[in-house]
Amino acid sequence: MRRRNLSPSSPRPWTKLCPSPSSRRSKARLDTRGSIANKEESIMPELPEVETVRRILNSSILNDTFQNVEVLSPKQLDASARDLTSRLPGATIVGTDRRGKFLILRLAGERSLVFHLRMEGKLFVLAPQEPLTAHPRFIFHLASGRRLVFDDTRRFGKVWLYDSLATPCTDDLGPEANRLDPQYVARLLERENRPLKEVLLDQTKIAGIGNIYANEICFACRLSPFIPADKIIDIPRAAADIANQSRRILDLSITKNGSTVKTYRASAHVSGDFQNFLQVYGREGEPCHLCHAIIMKRALAGRGTSFCPNCQHVPLVIGVTGGIATGKSTICHFLEKDGFQYLNMDRMAKEAYDNPGLRTDLKAIDPQVFDSEKGLNKDYLRKRLTDDQRFRRRWLTRLYSFLRDEVNETLNHLYNTPVVIEAPLLFQAKLDSFCRLKILAETDQQLAHLKARGDKDPERSLRFGATNDPQSYRDRCDFRIDTSGPLSELEGKVNKVLDSLKSLSGGLDHD
DNA sequence: ATGTTTGCCTGTTCGC
DNA sequence: TGCGAACAGGCAAACA
């Protein structure tokens, strides 16, 4: 019933979004030819990746000279580089630098060519015979006959060209993430009320940390990514941890990439080994290496945020599901008494229809569902939901997506409060991925409960409120609680569930 | 003025 | 099978 051992078959929310570590590993091993990008493999250039590229370029194209440039994607040129094609030819590369995630080629005559690889940008040095990469955006022809190719599938990357050693595009960056001063970090945390992870990602405060390493650093410091920085209990200690762990993780990652890159010879195709060392990023649904709790994932500031709820002291989230009148809310009320924040999805769904943004989206699906100005045409909606599967799917997809965002936001703000979510359709609405614990309420007293509530047509309500897949709900919940007995007994059952979680993995933090 | 949201981009995957 | 939607995410720009 309870998944103490995490089998590979346990549900793995979000895994679809990023390749599993094992698949990435095998891809990296396979690609030993050196020069052509493996399109199934994507590297997110953060500080260590950019540093690795810099080192490769430094050892391969130093003293080479730009001859001409093919600009295939002019939009990616900064204003300073608009006339790149006329200004760059003849310039010799005399050095390389890196500032945060910016890569700087120093040119003879105190000039600077700057790259930002953003999401998927890559720099390749291609031998004369080598075929072009898949998504070339700039091709720099060199005097040696080689080409420096800026390949960038999504065209997020950017290029600057300055006739100076100064590079204004890097002026606003904070100190390098792998050389942080603990006192600086402490002062930073003290005056930031944003969630910790947002602060780590802010390049003007600390330069070089991207999403992967922000998650990893939070984990290594055993700090919640969601906690407002100024609410951290022991700031001096946390600051020291952040400074130390940032240096350790980033420098380690640099060495890992360096070692792998050798097998790629002259190419600047970076495919590091560090993904094998990641503790939380891309590991959602898998057990924590330290405590075996399941690594979870939510969105924070629009970015995927993976964390160990146990190691990182993220408050417990319990999902309570079950059919109509099975005693879900009774369970929730017990937990509410214990200090849990209670989120009722039925209520949130009703309130959701007042949201203008959601309303606009839903009107686009079928405007008739909303009466002229104000209300929801409930009878019409019910009819459409039962009659038209395509409508039903689109409508519910949008509604559930809205609710997921709402729940996600609420959880992010409740950085020190445990939460119980009552959701009859916990799995359909994909709210289960927020829940460390999922409880199914069951009873054979549904009809009696409905009658006691004064339901005029309990049989009909029972039919309408039935889950279409009760067995999967049983399978996917961690606990089933029979609510048929007396209230005192039920409270005991709920407490037993909480107790067993405490013994599972080092206890809960909200007590 | 500040903090928050959106747009840029394309490829992949998922589920109905 | 096809199709819509979600998601990856750093940063600038637009927005309140």
Domain range annotation of chain A: 42-170, 177-307, 317-504
Q: How confident is the model at residue A272 (pLDDT cuts 50, 70, 90)?
A: low
- DSSP tag of A418: -
CA of A402 to C1' of B11 (A): 24
pLDDT at A509 over 60: no
The amino acid sitting at A103 is L
Average confidence (pLDDT) over A367-388: 81
Q: How confident is the model at residue A257 (pLDDT cuts 50, 70, 90)?
A: low
Looking at the domain covering A177-307, what would its CATH class be? mainly alpha
Residue A221: the pLDDT is 96
Residue A344's Cβ-count burial label (10 Å; 0-12, 13-18, 19+) is middle
pLDDT at A25 over 60: no
Which of A5-9, A82-86, A403-407 bottoms out in mean pLDDT, i.e. has the lowest? A5-9
pLDDT at A99 over 50: yes
In contact, A100 and A170? CB cutoff 8 Å:
yes
Nearest C-alpha neighbor of A472 from the set A426, A431, A433 = A426
Average confidence (pLDDT) over A218-242: 95
Q: Average per-residue pLDDT in chain A?
A: 83
pLDDT in tens, A293-332: 999 999 888 888 999 999 999 999 999 999 989 999 999 9
Catalytic residue among A3, A155, A194, A303: A303
Q: How confident is the model at residue A459 (pLDDT cuts 50, 70, 90)?
A: confident
For residue A42, which nucleotide's C1' is closest to its Cα?
A: C8
Residue A468: the pLDDT is 65
Q: How confident is the model at residue A39 (pLDDT cuts 50, 70, 90)?
A: very low
Residues of chain A (49-88) having a beta carbon less than 7 angstroms from strand B: 75
| DSSP reduced 3-state for A366 | coil
What percentage of chain A reaches a pLDDT higher than 70? 85
pLDDT at A259 over 80: no
Quote the CA–CA distance of A19 and A40 in Å, as a whole number.
9
Which of A134-143, A247-256, A460-469 bottoms out in mean pLDDT, i.e. has the lowest? A460-469
pLDDT at A38 over 50: no
Pairing outcome for strands A111-116 and A102-107: antiparallel
**Burial per residue of A379-409, b for 16 or more beta-carbon CB atoms within 10 angstroms, e otherwise:** eebeebeeeeeebeebbeebbbebbbebbbe
The yes-or-no answer on residue A187 being catalytic is no
pLDDT at A275 over 80: no
Residue A374: the pLDDT is 65
Q: How confident is the model at residue A153 (pLDDT cuts 50, 70, 90)?
A: confident
Could you give the C-alpha distances from A208 to A52, A56, A117, A237, in angstroms and in order?
A: 13, 18, 12, 22
| Residue A50 backbone dihedrals phi, psi, to 5 degrees | -65, -40
What percentage of chain A reaches a pLDDT higher than 90? 54
The yes-or-no answer on residue A453 being catalytic is no
Residue A267: the pLDDT is 35
| Residue A420 backbone dihedrals phi, psi, to 5 degrees | -120, 130
Catalytic residue among A12, A24, A45, A54: A45
In contact, A178 and A51? CB cutoff 8 Å:
no
| DSSP reduced 3-state for A156 | coil
Q: List the CATH code of the domain at A42-170.
A: 3.20.190.10
Nucleotides, chain B, CB distance < 7 Å? 4-16
Quote the CA–CA distance of A212 and A278 in Å, as a whole number.
9
CA of A123 to C1' of B11 (A): 20
**Which protein residue has its CA closest to C1' of B8?**
A156
The yes-or-no answer on residue A404 being catalytic is no
The yes-or-no answer on residue A303 being catalytic is yes
| Matching residue, tokens 């940390």 | A209
**Which protein residue has its CA closest to C1' of B12?**
A17
Q: How confident is the model at residue A1 (pLDDT cuts 50, 70, 90)?
A: very low
CA of A56 to C1' of B15 (A): 43
CATH 3.40.640.10 describes domain A317-504 = no
Enumerate the β-bridge partners of residue A370: A376
Pairing outcome for strands A93-99 and A102-107: antiparallel
